[in-house]
Structures are given as C-alpha cells and as structure tokens.
Amino acid sequence: MGEIRLMNVTKKFGDFTAVNDISLTIDDCKFFSFLGPSGCGKTTILRMIAGFELPTEGRIFLDNQDITDVPSYKRPVNTIFQNYSLFPHMSIFDNVAFGLKIKKLDKHQIKEQVEKILTIVQMQDHKFKFPNQISGGQMQRVAIARALVNEPKVLLLNDHLLPKFQIKCSHRLIE
C-alpha cells in the first residue's frame, strides 16, 4: 500500500509556474526519482505529495484516495529534508520518538519502537546525545529513523538523500 498518483497537477506561485500539468503514477513498493536542474519543480512536487503545498490545479491520490486537501499531519507520508530538520534541543532518542509522542502512543511502546529503529540504523549507542554531538552521516541516519519509526506508506527523500538501507514493502528496514 503506497501507490501515488498525480493527475494534471499544476503549482503556481503568483505568475510563476513551478509545476505544469504533471500526471504520473508511482506504483507501490517502487523507488522513483525526479531528476532535473535546480528550479524545475522537483521539491515542489515532493512538498505537494507531503501536503506542505497545495496544487493550484489537479489532484493527488494515495492508494486511490484523494489526499489533495488532507493536511500534511494526517497523511501517512514522511519526508526527510536536505537539512534533516532535527530538533537541536532534543536528544537523538527524543528526535526519533517525536512523531510517536504526537500520536500519543504509550511510553513503553514508544521506547520499544525507538530502541528497535535506532538499533537498525546503528545509532543505539548515541541515543542520549544531541544533534550537534554527532556527525552529518549520523544525523542522516537519525532523520531516516525518525521518518521510518512512524511506518509511513510513503517516504519522500529530498535531493541528495539516498539511504544506506533499503525499504521493504512491509515498511521495515533491512541492511
């Protein structure tokens, strides 16, 4: 479950057209890359799929459900941004646990899920550190863990991010 379909999607910012009449289907369990020069609309498409931007025209579907007007926080989609967007005032553990706390899972369940994903990304020994105490590669692994701990149907990676892990269709990581 995770098929994405864009139907005649256009995004305008004033007089500037960032994305013009895009239609495509990305099948479930597939890796898909948008390639092109800076400013051609790649990030805008990701932001619309994630719900951070609304299309000016067209519709966006996830598993045949129209999610065009669904707020980003209600979509089963997680995004890893170029700058990782880690909270500098939170430990690695708390950064990864953030989405689970928002979902109001019980503390035991949060601890169990965070410990498991930190082990998978080999960051369990750094869980009490803060983002400024780890390397860029380690920050990338924390960002991946934070995104995957919520078991999203779709994981969006912006620009140069290519994880060192593969995502199975069951939404579990393997090395």
**Which of 41, 75, 109 is the endpoint of a domain?**
75
* Single residue among 58, 75, 92 that ends a domain in this structure: 75
Number of domains in the chain: 2
User: Rounded to the nearest 10 degrees, what angle do helices 92-102 and 136-148 cross at?
Assistant: 20
If pLDDT is split at 50, 70 and 90, which confidence band does 160 have?
A: low
For residue range 11-51, what is the model confidence (pLDDT) as tens digits? 999 999 999 999 999 888 777 888 888 888 888 998 999 99
Residues 84 and 60 in one domain: no
Owning domain of residue 32: 1-75
83 shares its domain with 165? yes
H/E stretch holding 115 reads: helix 107-120
**Residue 165 pLDDT > 80, yes or no?**
no
Instruction: Indicate whether 83 and 70 sit together in one domain.
Output: no
Q: Same structural domain for residues 68 and 86?
A: no
Specify the DSSP class assigned to residue 170: T
Q: Within this chain, do residues 100 and 66 fall inside the same structural domain, yes or no?
A: no
Phi then psi dihedrals of residue 83, to 5 deg: -95, 10
What integer best gives the mean pLDDT of the chain? 86
Q: For residue 122, what are the CA distances in angstroms to 15, 73, 112, 119, 145? A: 47, 28, 15, 5, 10
Q: Based on the domain organization, do 12 and 66 belong to the same domain? A: yes
Instruction: Give the span between the Cα atoms of 12 and 57, in whole angstroms.
Output: 9
CATH number at residue 167: 3.40.50.300
Average pLDDT of the segment spanning 77-98: 88
- What is the reported pLDDT for 174? 36
The predicted model gives 75-87 an average pLDDT of 81
DSSP string, 67-114: -TTS-GGGSSEEEE-TTTT--TTS-HHHHHHHHHHHTT--HHHHHHHH
Tell me, yes or no, whether 97 and 71 share the same domain.
no
Identity of the amino acid at 152 = P
- The answer on 67 and 91 residing in a single domain is no
101 with 49, same domain? Answer: no
